[in-house]
Amino acid sequence: MASTKIVIAGGFGVGKTTLVGSVSEIPPVTTEAVMTEASVAHDDVSATPDKVTTTVAMDFGRLTLDDELIMYMFGTPGQARFWFMWDDLVRGAIGAVVVVDARRLADCFDAIDYFEKKQDIPYLIAVNKFDGKLDYTLEQIREAVEVGPEVPIVEFDARDRLESGNVLKTLLRYTLSRARERQREAD
């Protein structure tokens, strides 16, 4: 049986832990810590006022895709003070999901920039539908975050197992198509 690693990244409070938890076949390993008064100066919770915990290292989940492939998911912490861990979490990954909250697009720029610079790691943008809707079209979001048409953008509800699973399937299809394209170019 083969295994693969993907990374779930994005800003603070966008739904990374929720995505991992919704699709993992094992109880996800999380490093959630209760937010304290000390974090108030660092973490903007205005868009997520009910948020009381935050990831301080990583999330981990597993999903068996078929008899031949297991996917390991590693969720990154969203706050800038924990970004020093990203290089270690990304090492060996075949792809990444950048989770976006369309109400706070500025929070995704650092994650997108990170993966743009790591061009050997394909990524897609998954726009989490908070309150079950989006106020912008995916094309408007593409234009706002300034990514080319080659980067897939999908909408989903991180709480929904099927929708989160479709995000992961889209990432795998995109990763495979990029690998085939690179192979054709090399031949």
Q: What is the pLDDT of residues 170-184, one digit of tens each?
A: 999 999 999 898 888
SS (H, E, C) the chain: CEEEEEEEEECCCCCHHHHHHHHCCCCCECCEEECCHHHHCCCCCCCCCCCCEEECCCEEEEEEEECCEEEEEEECCCCHHHHHHHHHHHCCCCEEEEEEEHHHHHHHHHHHHHHHHCCCCCEEEEEECHHHCCCCCHHHHHHHHCCCCCCCEEEECCCCHHHHHHHHHHHHHHHHHHHHHHHHHHC
pLDDT in the model for residue 28: 84
For the chain, which residues make up each domain, given as ranges? 2-32+56-186
For residue 101, list its beta bridge partners. 128
pLDDT in the model for residue 21: 94
Q: How high is the mean pLDDT in each 10-residue block of the chain (187 residues)?
A: 92 91 90 55 54 62 90 84 76 95 90 87 95 88 94 96 96 93 87
For residue 5, list its beta bridge partners. 72
pLDDT in the model for residue 167: 97
CATH code for the part of the protein at 2-32+56-186:
3.40.50.300
pLDDT in the model for residue 131: 79
